[in-house]
Amino acid sequence: MSRMNAFYAQSGGVTAVINATACAVIETARKHKDKIANVYAGRNGIIGALTEDMIDTSKESAKTIAALRHTPGGAFGSARYKLKGLEENRAEYERLIEVFKAHNIGYFFYNGGNDSMDTAHKVSLISKKMGFPVQCLGVPKTVDNDLPITDNCPGFGSVAKYVAVSTREAALDVLSMAETSTKVFILEVMGRHAGWIAAAGGLAGSGAAGEPPHIILFPEIPFKKRAFLKRVKECVSDYGYCVIVVSEGAAYANGKFLAEAGTTDAFGHAQLGGVAPVVAQMVRDNLGFKYHYAVADYLQRSARHIASATDVKQAYAVGEAAVKMAVRGETAVMPVIKRTSDKPYRWKIDKAPLSRIANKEKMVPRRYISKDGFSITAAGRRYLEPLIRGEDYPPYINGLPNYVTLKNVPVSKKLKTKFVV
């Protein structure tokens, strides 16, 4: 196979370490000039390919690309845009292959979560049917930690660390004022269907009685109002205060989200309107306790200053492995993290076919959640704790992290036709 270009795209919500993966893809590709001529990045993800709006990463210095490793956000822009099936929207796939042909792109690295793996798998299959086979590699990224087969997902370890640290620090604040002020503090975290991030809040304490968080509300455990309020009242009575970590996807037994807003996002998922104020109102109306709540929102996934060193290493490792797999001729696979030992914590990179990953979700196992459904078990703690280990601080200048901004020089367009998404 003659030298061809590679296309790299970031997809969905970004993380504190997705740029570390981008760094790995570009740096590793530069070591394989015999196979990969250049790496083009999609401006705003896959949309950049459809609109032929690509970025020439060769215009960035080695020093700048290396700085991506410690820079949060998505350096090239990301997007929530899901390609439908070939039968539903053939024009999108024809356009994608048209752009790939025009720019001699033979490698496609798609850095995202469940829906992104589905897209990468579809492109792999359809490119063959259309006579221009492209080697498609999924590269895992999701703070939700819900991709199957891989032990964990890059992006999760850092958001888990942020949530655990924030829960511990906020709990100390609330405790100091609980006698005369706030009795209940609620932290809302991400996690639509899988409660991995909420579970990570449990690392704020050792698991001993009375240590916060006192309650975790998981999407996996149907919400029962009476049991919840009883537990809040007991915590305030026994400990003087109550700290709650709630997943945005907390839902009733009938599947309705506590915070359902009645709208959907670009992937067709229910748009959630904020569960923390719903829970807070419930506490006030039924128990009368003074409360405060916080929504971690983008802060939890962008906090590179407190990233997990384990997470940073794994984010780089999957990007590096994806390129190495591609130059070996592999396609329609995703590098996965395989845990080989809990104590000491050890892991290695393996691979799995995209067909086994696309559109599948990995929930928090019941054995990781306590019998009453309000905390994590020892098994859950064993799984989670190694993922937040270690610090990998960015360089600082004048008291602030020194993050990099790329030039993002566009690749010259070759097609006369425009495509509107």
Note down pLDDT in tens along the chain; length 421 residues. 589 999 999 999 999 999 999 999 999 999 999 999 999 999 999 999 999 999 999 999 999 999 999 999 999 999 998 887 777 888 898 899 999 999 999 999 999 998 899 999 999 988 988 899 999 999 999 999 999 999 999 999 999 999 999 999 999 999 999 999 999 999 999 998 999 999 999 999 998 999 999 999 999 999 999 999 999 999 999 999 999 999 999 999 999 999 875 445 555 666 566 899 999 999 999 999 999 999 999 999 999 999 999 999 999 999 999 999 999 999 999 999 999 999 999 999 999 999 999 889 999 999 999 999 999 999 999 999 999 999 999 999 999 999 999 999 999 999 998 888 8
Beta bridge pairs of residue 272: 260
For the four alpha carbons of 54, 58, 60 and 64, in that order, the dihedral sign comes to: positive
The architecture CATH gives domain 156-304+373-388: 3-Layer(aba) Sandwich (3.40)
Respond yes or no on whether the N-terminal peptide bond of residue 213 is cis (omega within 30° of 0).
yes
- Note whether 4-142+305-360+391-401 and 156-304+373-388 share their fold: yes
Residues catalogued as catalytic: 144
DSSP character at residue 2: -
Gap between the Cα atoms of 238 and 164, Å rounded: 23
Nearest to 139 by CA among 117, 161, 123: 117
How is residue 361 written in tokens?
Answer: 């979700």
> CB under 8 Å to 331, separation ≥6 — which residues?
124, 133, 134, 135, 136, 137
Q: At what angle do helices 18-30 and 309-327 cross, to 10 degrees?
A: 40
Class assignment of domain 4-142+305-360+391-401? alpha beta
pTM of the complete model beyond 0.75 = yes
How is residue 235 written in tokens?
Answer: 């915590």
Phi and psi based region of residue 210 (left: phi greater than 0; alpha: psi -120 to 50; beta: remaining): left
- CA 47 to the chain's CA centroid: 19
How is residue 206 written in tokens?
Answer: 């050792």
How is residue 144 written in tokens?
Answer: 């939700």
Question: C-alpha angle 261/216/195, rounded to 5°?
Answer: 60
Domain boundaries, the chain: 4-142+305-360+391-401, 156-304+373-388
